[in-house]
Structure 1
Amino acid sequence: MIDPIILQQGSDWRAQAEVFDEIFFVFLALGTLVGTIVVAYTLWNVFKYRDDGSEPKEDFDAPIVGELPTGQGGPKAKKLFLSFGLSAIVVISLVVYAYGLLLYVEEGPDTSDAGNIEITVEGYQFGWEYIYPNGYSTRGEMIVPADQRIDLNVTSRDVWHNFGSSELRIKSDAIPGEYSSTWFSVSSEDVEAQGGEATYRVECFELCGAGHSAMTGQITVLPQDEWEEWYAGTQGENTSSVDSAGAGNASSVDNAVIRGAPA
């Protein structure tokens, strides 16, 4: 297992998107390298052992279709078992490497030094409502701080939905009467790269009715100080219906009763 501490850069956490991008790059790079070696070696053998019309040498041990070249330690047997051994090492190494990273994605970064933020996500036909720890809620837009682990408790009021963001590499079922959990984190560097306010598209990935394609939303990530100022202004508020481009038909739905996160 890979220690999650290794996956953290100083006090910064690695987001799920970074982990999945790294896994993809490693598999792509190693697959390209191994494929190039295998294809090159195959072409070299095709050229070396091509039929040039001459009689084969007396000691030429031709392969027999359907039989493994045991060869009592001959060159063909050595090549075969060497290739099997190298392949096993590569595959096992990749499995252990990817498994360690996926454990980090499943468990999330360690929050012993800093508290995380839990937000309840409720899907409904056809929109999303986000309920914050203080009871304040928004529709269509989730507003969170940078450099902070965000825990999501996802559920549904009516039918099955699936909450997710392709850019953040998060995806979680929204099932009536049940809660599923996921997390994400966005670095302040990513926020600065988008001009001081990072936005990510939210979609429903479960066919849930006629308005499924319009069931979109947005995650807005602010610098920590700006978010704290915004969050302080929500104290004492009940419900806020945010009208954004990706809010589906949320603006046409009456304000819903605030529901707390699961115990």
Structure 2
Amino acid sequence: MWWLTAPLRTAVVPAQSGIIPRGTMVEVFEEIYLVFLVLGTLVGVVVIGYMCYLGYQYRDTGDGSDGGDGSGGDGKKIDRPTLGELPAGSGGGRKLFTSLALSAIIVISLIAWTYGTLLFVEGAPAEGQQDFEVSVTGYQFGWEFEYPNGHTVDTLRIPAGERIDITVTSRDVWHNFGIPAFKVKSDAIPGQQTDAWFIAEQPGTYQAVCYELCGAGHSAMNADVIVMEPEKFEQWYANTSGSNGSANASSGNATNATGSGANATAGNGTSGNGTGGNGTSGNGTVNALIADTASKLA
């Protein structure tokens, strides 16, 4: 059904022909929207036009010329509809059944075409299609993006023209990760992972937002999505390899070492005090017994 939308797409977005590339999720939803828009408009025009025609054809002229004799203002016999009966003239119920058949054909065709088109959204990457994986974690109130090399940031950088596979989850409450410009959304649920994909064709800066009301800061839960030329992205990605992972590991080890030292110090201090206390208490008891024995002997 692409031929129905080609002229309209050219008229609506003449300067953005490259922004809706064929084979991306953006094009899928644009195609579905425009097909339904065109067919809905055509059907609406036909139905409303026919209703206006019938209203004019069976109008009451007000001159009494149609006073129950079944004739119109021009004296011609009019086949007026009767409640509960199929029209007897003009082919009987052929118009009715023809309209029902056309409606059924249009609706069934739309359902079948839409279902087949949406399979593209859920489908696996095409053979030979290069893809890039990013893990997305939502929290109140921001997003965290982790790359395959362990690099973690709050700004998503991706290469243009490549399929991006995202795995989405949450560390606190329900969120919904979405990038409006690329027509992609996926639930972020604590303890679960959901998957989605998209292709960004045009380099630039876009916005990722949260579509699930998640608290007082929901409206500000945004993140920048920077689409880069593939060469520039490769350079940036190579410079970030393992940087965050090493820093986090060092920070964690230092914290653990400090914690262990503090615990050891606290433990020794407590043990020392306890021992000292017990020792003092024990010596006092012995001295009292010696003094008591000496007094009895005297």
TM-score bucket (shorter structure): 0.7 to 0.9
Q: Secondary structure at the match of 1:43?
A: helix
Does the CA contact (< 8 Å) of 1:151 and 1:182 recur in 2? yes
The within-5 A match list for 1:205-216 is 205-216=211-222
Which of 147, 165, 170 is matched with 1:132 structurally? 147
* 1:151-198 Cα deviation digits (max 9, x unpaired): 0000011111111122211111111110001100012xxx2xxxxx32
Tell me: higher relative CO, structure 1 or 2? Use CA pairs within 8 A at least 6 residues apart. 1
Counterparts of 2:22 and 2:136, CA distance in 1: 23
Q: Choose the corresponding residue for 2:163, options 143, 149, 166.
A: 149
Which residue of structure 1 aligns with residue 41 of structure 2? Answer: 32
Per-residue CA deviation, residues 190-225 of structure 1 (Å, 9 max, x unaligned), is x2xxxxx32221111112122211111121111111
Partner of 1:106: 122
Describe how 1:88-237 pairs up with structure 2 within 5 A.
Answer: 88-107=104-123, 109-110=125-126, 112-139=127-154, 141-187=155-201, 191=202, 197-237=203-243
Relative to structure 1, is the Cα distance of residues 76 and 220 closer, same or farther in structure 2, using a 3 angstrom cutoff? Answer: farther
Distance between the aligned counterparts of 1:61 and 1:42, measured in 2?
Answer: 16
Aligned residue pairs total 220
1:62 alignment partner, one of 70, 73, 80? 80
Flag the structure with larger Rg.
Answer: 2
Shift of 1:232: 1.1
TM-score by length of structure 2 reads: 0.68
SS in 1 for 2:128: coil
Cα distance, 1:43–1:108 mapped onto 2, change above 3 Å: farther
**Residue aligning to 2:54:** 45
User: What letter matches 1:169 in structure 2?
Assistant: K
CA 44–180 in structure 1, closer or farther in 2 if over 3 Å, else same: same
Mark the CA change 1:146 to 1:133 in structure 2 (over 3 Å): closer, same or farther.
Answer: same
5+ long unaligned stretches in structure 1: 1-11, 192-196, 241-254, 257-263
1:13 to 1:113, Cα distance in 2 relative to 1, 3 A: farther
RMSD: 2.4
What amino acid does structure 1 have at the position aligned with 2:40?
G
Is the contact made by 1:108 and 1:183 (CA closer than 8 Å) also made in structure 2? no
Change (3 A) 1:68 1:239: farther
Separation in structure 1 between the aligned mates of residue 124 and residue 218 of structure 2, nearest angstrom: 30
